[in-house]
Amino acid sequence: MQDISILNWHDQQEAWINKYIVPGTRSGDMELVTDEIGPEIYVFPLFTTAFCQELIELVEERNEWTTSRHQYYPTTDVLLYKLGLEPMYHEVLLRFAHPLARKLWRLEGKAWQDMIEESFIARYRHEEQSSLSIHQDFADYTFTVGLNSDFEGGGTWFARQKILGNPRNGHCLLFPSITHPHGGRPTTAGRRYICVSFCRRRKLYYPDSPTPKSSAEVAQNQNTTTQADTV
């Protein structure tokens, strides 16, 4: 049997899920594992430590970090499609994360069944970019997965709700975008890695597109126009 890695999602899908998606979430018991840490701010476990470690190793090995994707609130980041991971990550969100958002907020109708994401890994470190100013994401809602815990400080500060979210080791933060301005508190030691997904209704934002856009195409189109990043 082929060794399972984060890169071979399609080869052994169920074995991949058993290795990289945590119990509870894997079985769909989302009411059991989801916490509301503030008004409309939720945290749930998504990925195992093995997934997080492999993703961090891969992104550092590829070393394709950029700070030029966003005009107003740039982060040090890498789009998942540049790592060959965008199709896998979209399928994971489609199966395990988007249904939770629809249930929590009663998002009904076909438009909410056809979501696209701009997904990327962001890195904060005290000697480089350690924080991000208060902003709002260009999204209906956002998923932010914390990938590690060996850092100090950091976290997503929701200015209006006065809540700090700082998910670690595969836990995922979920929040609506327009009502929840937020910023990244300074990482004071170590490196903080997060995987972020701006989630949008395809037909609302791209109604005149003759063909469906992939999230990679959306991300490319937003390289110079998106006005906010996330934390």
Q: How far is CA 107 from CA 100, 173, 177, in A?
A: 10, 18, 15
- Alpha helix segments (H runs only) across 139-190: none
Catalytic residue among 69, 123, 192, 201: 192
Does the annotation mark 192 as catalytic? yes
DSSP state of 17: H
Instruction: State phi, psi for 13 to the nearest 5 degrees.
Output: -60, -45
Q: What span, in angstroms and rounded, lies between the C-alpha atoms of 97 and 135? A: 23
DSSP output for 49-107: HHHHHHHHHHHHHHT--BS-S-SSS--SEEEGGGGT-HHHHHHHIIIIIHHHHHHHHT-
| Residues classed as catalytic | 192
